Amino acid sequence: MASSLTDSSLHALQLNRIAQAKWKVDDYITRKKELLTELAEFKENERFIEETAKTIDELNREKEEHSDIIQQINQDKSDLEKQIDDARYEQREKESQIAKKYEQLIKLMEQSNEKIRESVLGEEGVIQPEDIPHAQIPKIPSPLPQTSIAPVLHPFKGLPPSLLPSMFSLDQMMMAASPQTFRPPPTVPSHLKAADHQSPPMKVRHFYFVFQELV
């Protein structure tokens, strides 16, 4: 009778340990999915930053070649610089969030493996470090230096925003003046559109953080 009770207690203990291990593994899988989603957004934002930086550089060169539309180029360049500043600031925030999620995921993996080893699953059931998503996040390029050409005053300065010409007028003017140089602006990621940024952009801090690949 005593032996039967002992066996039942051991069986209940093993079931409890397996349940705890399953809970940890489920939590790990959920956190991993969240991390993968944020990594995808980070890469999309990185692509936008690179394309916008190239466009700004090309606009700087075209300012010297298209004096007839230089005022509009100045305005468009300024708008793009504000957008890229917003994007860089958001990248800093995402870098910090992703770093914290990596730490949480590694800690959770270790806790899960500890529970798995304590259960009947043993070493064969542990989560391997290779299962954690790895990403070498590149350094975000610093802002481009200001051009030595003095900015041209906007002919519509002082008018209310509702009366200013649309940015689309630049496309129309460039197609009419020189079709071979026409270049549409890069696509802004959906999470960076104006509707999602009602507050003025915050000043970007002048330091950079590079993730080291987790091993």
Residue 209 within a domain:
no
Tokens coding 23? 């809970």
Rounded to an integer, what is the distance from CA 178 to the centroid of its chain?
35
User: Is 41's pLDDT higher than 70?
Assistant: yes
The H or E element containing residue 6 is: helix 2-65
Question: ∠ CA 54-176-160 to the nearest 5 degrees?
Answer: 75
Residue 205 within a domain:
no
Give the pLDDT band of residue 9 (cuts 50, 70, 90): confident
pTM attached to this predicted model: 0.41
Residue 203 within a domain:
no
Look at 188 and 173; give whichever has higher pLDDT.
188
The total domain count for the chain is: 1
Residue 211 within a domain:
no
Residue 103 within a domain:
yes
Averaged pLDDT of the chain: 72
Largest CA distance in the chain: 99
Residue 170 and residue 159: Cα distance in Å, rounded? 18
Residue 12 and residue 7: Cα distance in Å, rounded? 9
The reported pLDDT for the residue numbered 66 is 73
In this structure, of 92-96, 119-123, 152-156, 204-208, the range with the lowest mean pLDDT score is 204-208
Residue 107 within a domain:
yes
Domain range for 134? 2-141+161-196
